[in-house]
Amino acid sequence: MIIARRWPLQFVEHNRLANGLTRTATVTVRGKSFDTPAFMPVGTAASVKALTFPHLLEMGAKICLANAYHLYLRPGTEIIKSLGGLHGFTNWPGAILTDSGGYQVFSMEGVRKITDDGVHFKSYLDGSPHYFDAEKVIDVQLALDPDIAMILDDCTPYPADQARAQKGVDLTVNWAKRAIEYFDSLGLYPETSPNLFGIVQGSVYPQLRRACAERLVELDFTGYAIGGLSVGEPKEDLWSMLEVTVPLLPDDRPRYLMGVGTPEDLVLAVARGVDMFDCVLPTRNGRNGTAFTSRGSITAKAGRYKASNEPLDPDCECFVCQSYSRAYLRHLLNLNHMTACTLISYHNMWFYLKLMESLRKAILENTFSEYMERFLSLYRSGDKSSADAKEDQ
Amino acid sequence: MIIARRWPLQFVEHNRLANGLTRTATVTVRGKSFDTPAFMPVGTAASVKALTFPHLLEMGAKICLANAYHLYLRPGTEIIKSLGGLHGFTNWPGAILTDSGGYQVFSMEGVRKITDDGVHFKSYLDGSPHYFDAEKVIDVQLALDPDIAMILDDCTPYPADQARAQKGVDLTVNWAKRAIEYFDSLGLYPETSPNLFGIVQGSVYPQLRRACAERLVELDFTGYAIGGLSVGEPKEDLWSMLEVTVPLLPDDRPRYLMGVGTPEDLVLAVARGVDMFDCVLPTRNGRNGTAFTSRGSITAKAGRYKASNEPLDPDCECFVCQSYSRAYLRHLLNLNHMTACTLISYHNMWFYLKLMESLRKAILENTFSEYMERFLSLYRSGDKSSADAKEDQ
């Protein structure tokens, strides 16, 4: 039976709130489990910037993201395949999801050409010509051998008029259909095959989001991503698009909001039924010295911390907060020591992963609303640990 | 009794070889022990580049080095003092040795002026004028509160004629005397006071090295460093200066060869009776992608490793060698990912620390000569793990 062959993914829901959307579950893919809501550290090129995989293991990450487009260009899929796929290459024992690269290809205005069949683009490394289509990104991802693979979609830029957004939905659905057909034709074994997730597009048009979701649900993917958001649109559009889309997705399969977001975004999206997230913020901000804390984000390099004996976050139990003062971290940032990037990225990633753990616990114990209210209130209160904290933030 | 007041350092020798020089011992300073021969990771500015202190702990480092001159300029000794000294600032639980900064100040040709009393110099950060003398570097180091502090010495540049080298010895001995007198005058408690080490200078002139050592030994330091070597002189001068100096130093106190060196240097210096080392090579080379291995050093970025499934060092048990292929590390180096610097620095530091562990074991078991011969023979054999390995090294 085709469903069984295609989808070796287990989704076991533990609790669902009265809104019918917010839930906590365990997803198992090829023997690797992760609890949802889950945050996936972003290892675009098979490495999470400034951190090591043992760091991610010790802080409890269970699934990481990598990017097929970047790895296809460098070091090349054949090299990774010959070294045992992404799991062999990275030695990461948890689950791996690869993005198809649709977002990257589509954001390269000027060096790519979209046709109904696929996308022609030039390598940013050497200008060499390449072509991705629905089938090709499956071949690339099968060589990389992740646990979850994404279809090629049209990541519609923002703003887009309705005609452009409609075109994006048509392309995405057409390519999704070709992806499913091609994937099925390969006759993969369910125990060893990656899962394929569909991606809902439709810009900020409710009727397009709805149409795209419905047409993808007919194609019967194991999981559904919501793409093309957090690309510049107002926050209220992000929330209303989730509110339109999530209820249309099958509630026995994971829902993944791509590329989102801040700690507040994660909490508000979980409230709206999202199960999976990825975002570069914890590591990107870590590298530029911005730390997420229970009282909002702080710029660790700020002069007012030069003799501060406080940790980044008084409520955090990560080794950085247990070991180092803001003064120490500021000192390392001033020296441009890469260890500062590592330490703050570590704290930020810990903050994200522990936030997800707290959200799961609150959902399980039916205390999600109270948790959300308390978290947002403290997070929005700002860092009061230094007398003049609000002044230059 | 002045000795007891001045020197809260224990030196317990476990075994000494027939040459009367090569030995293994345990040094205890203010409750913190390290076994010798010991390698001290260099954390110039209170952080070991590209690594974290938990990394150093898990690989068995027991003593780290920091630099008083750098920390005096940034973030400033008062800030570090207010945060609990270097131990509080870094949260490093092992021992800490601070270099006085003599080497740094003396290498700043053009922006420093040496007098018989001390050294005037300008900050490399803002051009502000500063002055270090024998007493001042003790005050600075007492504020930093390491377990071992170094006197201010004249780090004689190479080459130096005999008159210049003689002048360096005179200054060094004069400042050493002032340092001891000043240190004693402070009436510090032995349990909580840092130890003060003398530094033997004398360039490549045996009679000057001898004279300097003898005069410093009269001053009765707890430990003796050998400085002004590995500054450009031929290797045979390094060895002959050690052979002249080491036998003159009291054999119940640690001997520290400053700023040396390669893995081969460490082995050959231990053979000549050196107990302690520091060097930036493991981390500096780690950051530029050069790995130390049991078969010599390799350039991990080399094209021939692009699909290599071999670890950096087939004989190494560090997590980097247990987890990653050369192809993976090369990939990260090509992307300029700082994680590559961390992983290769980790391996290099592990390599150095495990080498010292092996040397201690060989000395204890009276198999040092055989160990040294085997190590040097394999180390000098070059990396044969790739067919064309010798070609582009």
Query: Shortest CB distance from A327 goes to which of B83, B325, B341?
Result: B83
Query: Shortest CB distance from B51 goes to which of A323, A328, A339?
Result: A339
pTM score of the predicted model: 0.95
CB contacts under 8 A, B 148-167 vs A, are none
Q: Average of pLDDT values for B329-346?
A: 98
Report pLDDT digits (tens) over B20-34: 999 999 999 999 999
Query: Is the Cβ of A93 closer than 8 Å to some Cβ of chain B?
Result: no
Residues of chain A with pLDDT under 70: 1-7, 384-393
Per-residue pLDDT, A232? 95
Indicate which residue of A154, A265, A278, A383 is catalytic. Answer: A278
Active site residue A170: no
Per-residue pLDDT, B159? 96
Contact B335 A74 (CB under 8 A): yes
Q: What percent of chain B has pLDDT over 70?
A: 96
Query: Is the Cβ of A91 closer than 8 Å to some Cβ of chain B?
Result: yes
Helical spans, DSSP H, in chain A: 2-6, 53-58, 68-73, 77-82, 85-90, 102-106, 134-144, 162-185, 206-218, 235-245, 263-271, 281-287, 319-323, 326-334, 338-364, 368-379
Query: Is the Cβ of A57 closer than 8 Å to some Cβ of chain B?
Result: no
Which residues from chain B sit within 8 angstroms of residue A123, using beta carbons?
A: none
Per-residue pLDDT, B105? 85
Which residues from chain A sit within 8 angstroms of residue B89, using beta carbons?
A: 325, 327-328
Q: A293 phi and psi, to 5 degrees?
A: -135, 170
| Nearest partner of A31 among A77, A76, A62, A73, judged by Cα | A62
Any idea what DSSP says for residue A42? Answer: B
Active site residue B251: no
Closest residue on chain B to A91 (Cα): B323
Query: Shortest CB distance from A339 goes to which of B49, B309, B324?
Result: B49
**CA-based nearest distance B354→chain A, Å:** 21
Report pLDDT digits (tens) over B253-262: 999 999 999 9
- Domains in chain B, please, with CATH? 2-279 (3.20.20.105), 285-379 (no CATH)
Per-residue pLDDT, A110? 80
Contact B342 A342 (CB under 8 A): yes
Query: Is the Cβ of B334 closer than 8 Å to some Cβ of chain A?
Result: yes
Tokens found for residue A88: 């062999």
One-letter amino acid for residue A90 of the chain: T
The size of chain B, in residues, is 393
Q: Average of pLDDT values for B170-175?
A: 98
Q: Average of pLDDT values for B238-259?
A: 97
Give the three-class secondary structure for A348.
helix
Per-residue pLDDT, A328? 98
Per-residue pLDDT, B385? 55
Per-residue pLDDT, A389? 41
- Binned at pLDDT 50, 70 and 90, residue B384 comes out as low
Q: Is the pLDDT at B252 greater than 50, yes or no? A: yes
Contact A327 B74 (CB under 8 A): no
- What percent helix, strand, coil does chain B show, rounded to 5? 45, 20, 40
- Binned at pLDDT 50, 70 and 90, residue B70 comes out as very high
Distance CA A49, CA B248 (A): 51
Per-residue pLDDT, B393? 35
CB contacts under 8 A, B 28-47 vs A, are 45-47
By CB atoms closer than 10 A (0-12, 13-18, 19+), residue A216 is: buried
Q: What is the ipTM of this complex?
A: 0.94
Q: How many helices (H) and strands (E) does chain A have?
A: 16, 16
